Chain A
Amino acid sequence: MAKQRKQPIIRRSIAALLTAYYGVCGVPGARGYAFNEIVPDVRQPASISGGSACPVPSHQLIAPGSIAEQWSTVLGTNPVTIRTQDQTAAGRLNEIEQAITQSIAAWTGVSGTTLAPGTFAPVTRIAAQNACGSDGVNSICLDQADGAFTPGILAFTRVITADIIGARVGNGAAATQVGQILDADIYFGPSSSTITFATPAALASAPTSYDFESLLIHELGHTLGFSHSAVFAAMMYPFAPAPGTFSGSRPTTQKPDAPLGDDDRTGLRVLYPDPGDTVNVGAVSGRILPANPLSLPASPPGVTGIFGAHVVAVDSATGAVIGATLGGWSCVAPGPAHFDGSYGISRLAVGHSYQVYAEPLDNTVYPSLVSPATASLCRNPKTDAGWPPLQACVVPAVNTSFTTRTRPGL
């Protein structure tokens, strides 16, 4: 599958000054939305693999009611894991479920995507404590001990993706698309004396608790295929708001996606584009090249541009980070990926002016934190026995040793 690159239709300039500004002021690097990428298994027939070794982002199947989500009603009680305003047994569950429903609505409320409110089936309850597991059912568990928890981990989402059509998890439905997410379970840390969560209604009276809704919206982003973003205002920023506070704004009926940042919305539009959207159709693309090609790594061979640069689009009027990408590669069917310095930021609203800057991943975001978006771009005979050499590649190390400059004339 070819990675689509639209022609630039928005004013473009590489602003080294902005890079310097952010560096001096210490504002974290603005790694924008990123997706978990999967290389289809081209050892299988093209009818089920697509035949291309180009990476595809993990994604949910989009159809009415296609994403089901259940949640375990078993809650930690010693101490209370989730604080609620309503203390009755039924009231607690209703309050938590309302937060879950609102969290889903934050994502389905974004315009310009095919992820509509009806894409999620109504959430269901399950009385089992250990509802999370690789069974093909998306689950939220609030008091399930898991062998992966160690001190220092509050919550996580485990996502299972298929690399061919027909793969399945447990008794779940078989994948009908390459890159389809088959199971995504959200684990909140089980009972702890130091970590608790609170529903929006209870947060004001629980200043030491994390906002359950903010964390859940973030984790649901993983369920939809997102990796982390380094944009502060993004919900996919990897760190929850301080206890007693919440991310963004609370959702309203008029604006259910209020908690999300622009970067989240742009990412969602890229991942689930609405073909009927006429507003968010702008794109910026190009290549990041070194002044001296000899500075490029000799190994692996074939690297012709900077790999791993952050390329960020900033709205010139507001200064807001609208979207960003991890640049450095392109792919045309039948693949593999080429590390030629290409980047592309798409689904930008037309009628705006944007400034674009590039920065190395050596400030507040390090290559290890973006490994899900970089390490999985290639497969080869060493990683996968029998992989066809002509569709094989090796991901180069993220280049963090370049300095951006404005090219004369831009």
Chain B
Amino acid sequence: MSYVQRRRFLWILFLGGLALLAIAASATTLSRLKLEDLAQESTAVARLRCLGTTSRWEQGEIWTEATFEIVQREKGALSGIVTVRLLGGSVGHLHSRVEEVPAFHTGEEVYLFLWGHEGEPYQVLGWSQGTFRIKRNPQSGLEIVTQDSASSAVFDPHAKTFRRGGIRHLPVAIFREKLHKALRQENQ
């Protein structure tokens, strides 16, 4: 590619990029739940460690139940083992999948915003929006938190607009500060 062609190509990309940025202020099939919304709408919030998952047929659908032990409770009356119900999973020779439903692995630690009724398995509020994964840097030991939907531009039905945002690469201590602030707002 010649210098002129390359310049023309980059200009096209630049203009295309501007157009795309304009479109970026659009919407999603999720409706946005800010951290404050998640705190308010959730039944419980906790740092959890996944103990395992099992899938089974229930009322004509394949569901996966993930069990967690509580590492740190932040909201709600959680005790013992927490069970979270997720649509989809694998049973026998059938694999049921739904985009944006989070999957968990044994030993993984997450902050989850749980939604549901006492005595029944919880769901993850807003699926990817209510899932915050914890990653530990093996060298420094620093733990960071990233929301599954952090990369997503999501629709805010109240503001009638699309917003980008979410939490990504946030140290756990700072995340907890934000979380506690959101929970305090809920109680006011």
A residues adjacent to B (C-beta < 8 A): 13, 17-18, 21-22, 25-28, 36, 38, 41, 44, 58, 133-135, 146-148, 150-164, 166-167, 169, 182, 194-195, 208, 210, 215, 218, 222, 227-228, 232-233, 238-243, 245, 314, 316-320, 353, 355, 363-366, 368-369, 371-372, 375-376
| Contacting pair B13 A232 (CB below 8 A) | no
Q: Quick one: given A148-B98, A355-B9, are A242 and B24 in contact (CB under 8 Å)?
A: no
Sample (10) of A-B pairs whose CB atoms are under 8 Å apart: A36-B97, A134-B62, A147-B123, A153-B29, A182-B94, A194-B31, A232-B24, A238-B99, A239-B153, A240-B27
Contacts of B62 in A (CB 8 A): 134, 160
Question: Closest 7 CB pairs between A and B?
Answer: A152-B126, A239-B28, A319-B12, A148-B87, A167-B93, A194-B157, A133-B60
Of residues 156 through 171 on chain B, the ones whose CB sits less than 8 Å from some CB of chain A are: 157-158, 160-162, 164, 168
Q: Quick one: given A27-B21, A133-B60, are A153 and B97 in contact (CB under 8 Å)?
A: no
Other A-B contacts than A151-B115, A155-B29, A161-B94, 7 sampled, CB-CB below 8 A, are A133-B60, A134-B61, A150-B115, A167-B94, A239-B26, A241-B27, A368-B146
Determine which of A13, A158, A233 lies in contact with B97 in the assembled complex, contact meaning CB atoms within 8 Å.
A158
Contacts of A365 in B (CB 8 A): 151
Contacts of A218 in B (CB 8 A): 29
Of residues 120 through 150 on chain B, the ones whose CB sits less than 8 Å from some CB of chain A are: 123-131, 133, 146, 148-150
The residue among A150, A161, A363 with the most chain B CB atoms within 10 A of its own CB is A150
Give the complex CA separation of A134 and B89 in angstroms: 13
Give the complex CA separation of A124 and B122 in angstroms: 36
| Contacting pair A215 B150 (CB below 8 A) | no
Contacts of A152 in B (CB 8 A): 30-33, 125-127, 129-130
Q: Quick one: given A162-B94, A215-B29, A316-B1, are A368 and B148 in contact (CB under 8 Å)?
A: yes
| Contacting pair A238 B27 (CB below 8 A) | no
Q: Quick one: given A158-B87, A215-B29, are A163 and B95 in contact (CB under 8 Å)?
A: yes
A-B CB contacts (within 8 Å), total count: 201
Give the complex CA separation of A312 and B150 in angstroms: 22
0/1 per residue, B48-85, Cβ < 8 Å to A? 00000000010111100000000000000000000001
Contacts of B157 in A (CB 8 A): 194-195
Nearest CB to that of B41 among chain A residues?
A151
Give the complex CA separation of A245 and B99 in angstroms: 23
Determine which of A21, A146, A162, A167 lies in contact with B13 in the assembled complex, contact meaning CB atoms within 8 Å.
A21
| Contacting pair B103 A371 (CB below 8 A) | yes
Give the complex CA separation of A167 and B91 in angstroms: 11
| Contacting pair A21 B20 (CB below 8 A) | no
Q: Quick one: given A152-B30, A158-B96, A366-B150, are A240 and B41 in contact (CB under 8 Å)?
A: no
Q: Quick one: given A152-B31, A239-B28, are A133 and B61 in contact (CB under 8 Å)?
A: yes
Give the complex CA separation of A38 and B90 in angstroms: 11
Give the complex CA separation of A28 and B29 in angstroms: 18
Report the minimal beta-carbon distance from B185 to chain A, rounded to whole angstroms.
Answer: 17
B173 close to A (CB within 8 Å): no
0/1 per residue, B111-124, Cβ < 8 Å to A? 00001000000011
| Contacting pair A208 B160 (CB below 8 A) | yes
Contacts of A233 in B (CB 8 A): 20
